[in-house]
Amino acid sequence: MELKAGKQAAFSQLLDQYQQKVFGTCISFIPNKEDAEDVAQEVFLEVFKSIHKFKGDSKLSTWIYKIATNKCLEFIRKKNTKKRFAFMQTILGNEIPLDKTSYFTEVNHPGVLLENQEKSTIIFKAINTLPEAQRVVFTLAKIDDKSYQEIVEITGKSLSSVESLMFRAKKGLQGKLENFYKNES
């Protein structure tokens, strides 16, 4: 495989082929253009660094999406940890300004065709409150338009597990959004 041999042309071709797709996955999880671009770059750095670990027992695209999903979750965890720390600092009286800019308030995703930005923000915030496994499955299926079979390959979960997580995610979101709209009226 030319990629494993570290051939520059093979890497360029891989980049051309997957750049937009990986960015699409990243922006599904992180609806902020700059952050999604940064994470997408990290994905390709990881792919280039780890290509020798790719065994070929799944499709190359599946392996790349798995890396992308993991990098996105890593980013979200770090961002949430920083927010919690800043919040605790504020409560304890240290003058560290609380980062009020949630990356879930800037939605610029072509796959999310909703009436307006406000609704998009509410939905992304609701998705962000789901348990991680449900959030991953829901995001890959509904926002990133992956089939259940692709999600099975990306996450390593069984088909029944993916279906169950999807069912619970939909139920959870339905409840959260119903409560939100009830409180708004």
Q: What is the DSSP string of 41-76?
A: HHHHHHHHHHGGG--SSS-HHHHHHHHHHHHHHHHH
pLDDT at residue 6, rounded to an integer: 58
Of 29-43, 110-124, 151-165, least confident by mean pLDDT is: 110-124
Of 27-36, 81-90, 107-116, least confident by mean pLDDT is: 107-116
CATH number at residue 20: 1.10.1740.10
Cα separation of 60 and 154, whole Å? 11
Is the Cβ–Cβ distance between 109 and 168 less than 8 Å? no
Is the Cβ–Cβ distance between 173 and 138 less than 8 Å? yes
**Is residue 12 assigned to a domain?**
yes
Neighbours of 179 (CB within 10 A): 11
**Is residue 41 assigned to a domain?**
yes
pLDDT at residue 105, rounded to an integer: 40
Cα separation of 58 and 109, whole Å? 28
For residue 134, pLDDT beyond 70? yes
Residue ranges making up the domain that contains 88: 8-184
**Is residue 2 assigned to a domain?**
no
pLDDT digit string, tens, across residues 56-89: 888 899 999 999 999 999 998 888 777 666 655 5
**Is residue 65 assigned to a domain?**
yes
**Is residue 26 assigned to a domain?**
yes
Report phi then psi at 58, rounded to 5: -135, 175
pLDDT digit string, tens, across residues 83-109: 666 655 555 544 434 333 344 444 445
99 φ/ψ sector (left φ>0, alpha ψ -120 to 50, else beta): beta
User: How many structural domains is the chain composed of?
Assistant: 1
pLDDT at residue 64, rounded to an integer: 93
**Is residue 163 assigned to a domain?**
yes
pLDDT at residue 158, rounded to an integer: 96
Residue whose tokens read 């919690």 = 84
pTM: predicted TM-score of the whole model, two decimal places: 0.67
